Amino acid sequence: MKTFRIRTEYKDSQGKLDYFIKNFDTEGTPFGDQKRNSLRLFKLKDFQVNIKSFKVPNVVNQIAYSFFRKSKAQRSYEYGLELIKRGIGTPQPIAYYEFKSFFLFKKSYYLSEQVDCDLTYRELTHDFNYPDYEAILRAFTRFTFQLHEKGIKFLDHSPGNTLIKKVADGYEFFLVDLNRMEFKHMNFEDRIKNFDRLTIHKSMVEVMSDEYAKVSGEDYDKIVNLMWEATEAFQAKHHKKQRLKKRLRFWRT
């Protein structure tokens, strides 16, 4: 059984969108990291459609997504619309499709307009000589501050999930991988902890803390100490999780 929702502005292209989904596995151009979910680009009119195919979830989530929870594709679509409503950059949402078999949820797809960017935040964590490096990092920090001011808690605020595009008067930022997000008031501690996944480099934390202090009016020392503590705590948790996964893989072999 197929269900779908197409944004009004793209209704006239439904036949094409249906075709893209039907032929996703054999047509289109593979794009980006294919390890977790598949992404492909398809040509529509004068732009490209980015289609993200989510993996079939485990049996528990197949039941949950059928009866109790919105799918990742639906959340991505709805959160994308909410971001645009709040004035935050994200690739234009087009549609989402879901497929079920009897009472079990199977495949889902999120469709958006492709954004051609110059870099992602990840490049900043690897190349400290990137042109206009500090200006980009400070602009990104102001962008994050705007997320917080507008009541947006991006739970996957990590290096690969912000696209950065150079424009005449600076830089524009676009959030991707949208299925984990909360819309609510954030207190000071929540705001600063939202930076914890972004880098392992204290020099970057210091620059972001300085810029966040400037735009928020909060104390720099308080910000940098909390941001670095949150960063170290996240890294410790991440490495512990990776060690556990290695042990589990060892016992399976």
Mean of the per-residue pLDDT values of the chain = 92
Residues whose CB is less than 8 angstroms from the CB of residue 116 and which lie 6 or more positions away in sequence, other chains included: 165
The label of the residue with tokens 């209704």 reads: 11
What is the structure's pLDDT at 244? 65
Model confidence at 68, pLDDT cuts 50, 70, 90, reads: confident
The DSSP call for residue 8 is G
Model confidence at 87, pLDDT cuts 50, 70, 90, reads: very high
Render pLDDT for 50-59 as a digit per residue (tens, 0 to 9): 999 998 878 8
Model confidence at 245, pLDDT cuts 50, 70, 90, reads: low
Render pLDDT for 103-112 as a digit per residue (tens, 0 to 9): 899 899 999 9
Closest CA to 29 of 118, 143, 148, 114: 114
pLDDT at 248 over 70: no
- Residue 223, classified by CB atoms within 10 Å of its CB into exposed (0-12), middle (13-18) or buried (19+), is buried
- How far apart CA 119 and CA 122 sit, in angstroms, is 8
The CATH class for the domain spanning 119-240 reads: mainly alpha
CA angle at 151 for the pair 145 and 154, rounded to the nearest 5°:
70
Region 189-210: what's the mean pLDDT? 97
Please tell me the CATH code under which domain 2-113 is placed: 3.30.200.20
Region 62-87: what's the mean pLDDT? 93
What is the structure's pLDDT at 35? 65
